[in-house]
Structure 1
C-alpha cells in the first residue's frame, strides 16, 4: 500500500473513532438526563439538567466538526496521483511531510511524521497549485517542495 493510501486510511480511522466516542458520550448524556428527569425536582435538578444540556451542546459541536472532517476525507481519492498540490496531496518538503485535507493531529507512519493541514491554512496556501521545486518561507524558514503525490 502506498504511503498516501496509508496516511489517508489512518486519518479516516482516527476521525471515525472520535466520531464514535462523541456519539457514545452524547447518548450517555441523553440517557442520564432522561433518568434524572424521572426522579428529581427542584433547583438542583434544574441546574443539573442545564449543565447536561450545555455539555451536550459542546459535544454536538465537536461531533459536527468531526463529521465535516470525515466528509473532506471521503472526497479524497488516495489512488489519484497529483502533479501539483491540491486537496488530498501528500507533500514532502525539505523539512516536513504534509497531507492536504483537514486540520488533524500529526501521525507517524514508518518513522515519517505527517502533518495534516486544511487547504485554507497559511502553510497550505503557500503550496496549493505548486509543484516540485517550489520554494516558500514560513516564519523565517525556507521550504522546498521535493515530492507531490
Structure 2
C-alpha cells in the first residue's frame, strides 16, 4: 500500500472513530434524559434536562462536522498525480509533510510523520495551488516544498 492510500485509510478510521464516539455520547444522553424523573427539586431537574439538551445539540453539530469530513474524503482521487497541490496530495516541505484532506492531526506511515490538514485550514489555504520548489511562510517559519504527490 502506498503512502497516500495509507494516509487516506487512517483518515477514514479517524472519522469512523469520531462518529462512534459522538453516537455513544448521544445514546448516553438520551438514556439520561429518559431516566430523569420529575423530582421534588423541580428547578434542579429542569437545569439537568437543559444541560443534557445542550449536550445533544453539541453532539448534533459534531455529527454534521463528521458528515462534512466524509464528503471531503469521498472527493479525494488517490490515483491522480499533479504538480500543483490540491485535495488528496501529499506535500513534503523542508519542515514537515502534509496530507491535504481533513483535519485529522498527526498520522504516521512507515515511521514518518504526516499532518492531515484541511484545505480550509490556514496552512491548507497556503499550500493549495503551490508547486514543488515554491517557498512560503507559515507561523513565521519559511518552508520550501520539496515534493508533491
Q: Note the residue ranges of structure 2 that are not aligned, 5 or more in a row.
A: none
Distance of aligned partners of 1:77 and 1:55 in 2 relative to their CA distance in 1, 3 Å threshold? same
Partner of 1:71: 71
Partner of 1:33: 33
Residues 102-141 of structure 1: matches in 2 within 5 Å?
Answer: 102-141=102-141
Alignment length (residue pairs):
147
4+ residue segments displaced more than 4 Å: none
Residues 50-69 of structure 1: matches in 2 within 5 Å?
Answer: 50-69=50-69
Q: CA deviation at 1:121?
A: 2.5
Find the aligned partners of 1:90 and 1:47 in 2 and give their Cα distance: 48
User: 1:130 is paired with a residue of what secondary structure?
Assistant: coil
Q: CA deviation at 1:102?
A: 2.2
Q: Note the residue ranges of structure 1 that are not aligned, 5 or more in a row.
A: none
Q: CA deviation at 1:79?
A: 2.3
Structure 2 length-normalised TM: 0.89
RMSD (Å), alpha carbons: 1.5
Find the aligned partners of 2:139 and 2:51 in 1 and give their Cα distance: 42
Verify the 8 A CA contact 1:5 1:79 in the aligned structure 2.
no
Q: CA deviation at 1:53?
A: 0.5
Q: CA deviation at 1:103?
A: 2.1
Partner of 2:99: 99
Structure 1 length-normalised TM: 0.89
Q: CA deviation at 1:131?
A: 1.7
Find the aligned partners of 2:86 and 2:120 in 1 and give their Cα distance: 11
**Is 1:145 paired with 2:145?**
yes
Distance of aligned partners of 1:48 and 1:126 in 2 relative to their CA distance in 1, 3 Å threshold? closer
Q: CA deviation at 1:134?
A: 1.2
Find the aligned partners of 2:32 and 2:68 in 1 and give their Cα distance: 27
